[in-house]
């Protein structure tokens, strides 16, 4: 198979820059990179594979007809341009929320449901970062024991909000005034149970993404995952405290083995030796880490878990690149 002609829309953002790193690490075969960004970045350069590549406009990148376009420039850009790329026969892997719940677009985590991508699909959606690391753990457990319901409490890194959130945290820690804060309250030395906007039902959009996307990815409308999403002053990744109730009985040793055998999941579960997943140790890694695995005290078929992943990696950039890698290995552009 020949190398790819690949477009990266949003090449200068936090996730876009991470995608460049991940493409090199995973050795995605790219012969020609077409980076695009906002007008103020056009003409600047990004580095990839030891070369400098000039940032272009989205229009120019579309005219160059790449085989695949990775989008990470926000929902508005994706809604405007992804259909145009798709009409031109270009496969789009979109990291925004724009297409996730569209019935015509598969919502994909390759290890979980890569086979959901049809040969005619041209817009493939990347799940929300919180959902993504969650379903990596849910998939093998649902297959083995069948999940009836679950409760998730998240502890989400400020990097999920973007550059402005990092500036706000660093300014607060330096005792400087914060211009145009992205959060309604200080984030340093604080926790905000407020990720995205609140809906009429009292849940935020982030929390509803977990409810809706989990069902679509697992292909089961009976998997009910209620969520409380919390923003914390952490840089390295998202953490999740997860409680699951199963239809079938389970043994903890079997649970650990099922998780350890699943690709992309690493079990770190020796609490007596202070070994458990943390954002500091997950940062910069592509895997999903799980620990604190224990049976519920009141329900024999209830299980508690602690899940951590770098939200810029597996939660966004890595999964996007893995989708492109999966399609390449399936021979889409042969």
Are residues 284 and 227 part of one domain? yes
Closest CA to 315 of 172, 150, 126: 126
Q: Is the dihedral of CA 117, 288, 214, 295 positive or negative?
A: positive
CATH number of the domain bearing residue 66:
3.40.50.720
State the average pLDDT over residues 51-70. Answer: 97
pLDDT at 1 over 80: no
Are residues 246 and 135 part of one domain? yes
SS3 36: strand
What's the CA gap between 242 and 155, in Å, rounded? 11
Element (H, E) at 6: strand 4-9
User: What's the confidence (pLDDT) of residue 28?
Assistant: 96
At 234-270, the pLDDT tens digits run 999 999 999 999 999 999 999 999 999 999 999 999 9
User: What's the confidence (pLDDT) of residue 149?
Assistant: 96
Cβ(246)–Cβ(146) below 8 Å: yes
Are residues 244 and 159 part of one domain? yes
CATH number of the domain bearing residue 299:
3.30.360.10
User: What's the confidence (pLDDT) of residue 10?
Assistant: 96
State the average pLDDT over residues 176-188. Answer: 95
Each as own residue / partner, the long-range contacts of residues 111-114 (CB below 8 Å, 24 or more positions apart, any chain) are 111/136, 111/139, 111/262, 111/263, 111/264, 112/136, 112/139, 112/217, 112/218, 113/217, 113/218, 113/219, 114/323, 114/326
At 21-54, the pLDDT tens digits run 999 999 999 999 999 999 899 999 999 999 999 9
Are residues 122 and 144 part of one domain? no
Let me know if 208 is exposed, middle or buried by CB neighbors in 10 A (0-12, 13-18, 19+).
middle
| pTM of the complete model | 0.95
Are residues 301 and 162 part of one domain? yes
State the average pLDDT over residues 10-17. Answer: 94
User: What's the confidence (pLDDT) of residue 39?
Assistant: 87
pLDDT at 331 over 70: yes
CB atoms within 10 A of CB 304: 15
Are residues 147 and 91 part of one domain? no
User: What's the confidence (pLDDT) of residue 196?
Assistant: 95
In a domain, residue 121? The reply is: yes
In a domain, residue 242? The reply is: yes
Catalytic residue among 105, 129, 195, 227: 129
Let me know if 320 is exposed, middle or buried by CB neighbors in 10 A (0-12, 13-18, 19+).
buried
Active site residue 328: no
SS3 291: strand
Confidence label for 334 from pLDDT (cuts 50, 70 and 90):
confident
Confidence label for 212 from pLDDT (cuts 50, 70 and 90):
very high
Are residues 192 and 91 part of one domain? no
Each as own residue / partner, the long-range contacts of residues 201-208 (CB below 8 Å, 24 or more positions apart, any chain) are 203/227, 204/229, 206/128, 206/130, 206/154, 206/156
pLDDT at 174 over 70: yes
- Alpha-carbon distances, residue 85 vs 64, 180, 313 (angstroms): 11, 34, 25
Cβ(237)–Cβ(283) below 8 Å: yes
Catalytic residue among 105, 142, 227, 238: 238
User: What's the confidence (pLDDT) of residue 68?
Assistant: 98
In a domain, residue 218? The reply is: yes
In a domain, residue 12? The reply is: yes
State the average pLDDT over residues 197-209. Answer: 98
Are residues 243 and 160 part of one domain? yes
Q: What is the dihedral of CA 8, 12, 14, 18, to 10 degrees?
A: 50
In a domain, residue 321? The reply is: yes
Average pLDDT score, the chain: 96
User: What's the confidence (pLDDT) of residue 259?
Assistant: 98
In a domain, residue 253? The reply is: yes
In a domain, residue 334? The reply is: no
Helical segments of the chain, H only: 14-25, 58-63, 75-87, 110-113, 129-145, 163-173, 205-218, 252-261, 279-282, 318-329
At 283-300, the pLDDT tens digits run 999 999 999 999 999 999
What's the CA gap between 288 and 281, in Å, rounded? 11
What single DSSP character describes residue 321? H
Are residues 135 and 32 part of one domain? no
User: What's the confidence (pLDDT) of residue 122?
Assistant: 97
Are residues 257 and 121 part of one domain? no
Confidence label for 60 from pLDDT (cuts 50, 70 and 90):
very high
Are residues 148 and 39 part of one domain? no
Q: Count Cα neighbours of 207 within 13 Å in the Cβ-side half-sphere.
A: 23
| Domain of 147, in residue numbers | 130-311
Are residues 111 and 8 part of one domain? yes
User: What's the confidence (pLDDT) of residue 2?
Assistant: 76
Active site residue 227: no
Domain count within the chain: 2
In a domain, residue 180? The reply is: yes
User: What's the confidence (pLDDT) of residue 121?
Assistant: 97
């Amino acid at each position: 198979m020949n190398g790819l002609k690949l477009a990266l829309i949003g090449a200068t953002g936090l996730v876009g820059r991470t995608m460049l790193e991940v493409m090199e690490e995973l050795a995605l075969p790219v012969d020609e990179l077409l980076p695009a960004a906002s007008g103020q970045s056009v003409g600047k350069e990004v580095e990839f594979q030891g070369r400098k590549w000039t940032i272009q406009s989205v229009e120019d990148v579309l005219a160059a007809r790449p085989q695949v376009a990775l989008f990470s420039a926000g929902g508005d850009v994706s809604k405007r341009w992804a259909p145009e790329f798709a009409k031109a026969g270009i496969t789009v892997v979109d990291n925004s929320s724009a297409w996730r719940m569209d019935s015509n677009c598969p919502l994909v985590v390759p290890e979980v449901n890569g086979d959901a991508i049809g040969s005619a699909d041209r817009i493939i959606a990347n799940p929300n970062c919180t959902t993504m690391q969650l379903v990596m753990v849910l998939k093998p457990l649902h297959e083995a024991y069948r999940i009836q319901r679950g409760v998730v409490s998240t502890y989400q890194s400020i990097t999920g909000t973007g550059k402005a959130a990092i500036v706000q945290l660093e300014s607060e820690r330096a005792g400087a005034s914060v211009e145009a804060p992205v959060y309604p309250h200080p984030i340093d030395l604080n926790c905000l149970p407020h990720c995205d906007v609140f809906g009429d039902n009292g849940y935020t959009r982030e929390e509803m993404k977990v409810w809706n996307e989990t069902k679509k990815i697992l292909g089961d409308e009976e998997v009910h995952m209620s969520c409380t999403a919390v923003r914390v002053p952490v840089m390295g990744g998202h953490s999740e405290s997860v409680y699951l109730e199963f239809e079938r009985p389970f043994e903890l040793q079997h649970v650990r083995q099922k998780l350890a055998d699943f690709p992309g999941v690493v079990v770190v579960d020796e609490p007596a030796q202070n070994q458990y997943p943390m954002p500091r140790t997950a940062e910069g890694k592509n895997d999903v880490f799980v620990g604190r695995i224990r049976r519920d005290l009141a329900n024999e078929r209830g299980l508690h878990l602690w899940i951590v992943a770098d939200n810029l990696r597996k939660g966004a950039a890595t999964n996007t690149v893995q989708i492109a890698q999966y399609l390449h290995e399936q021979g889409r552009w042969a």
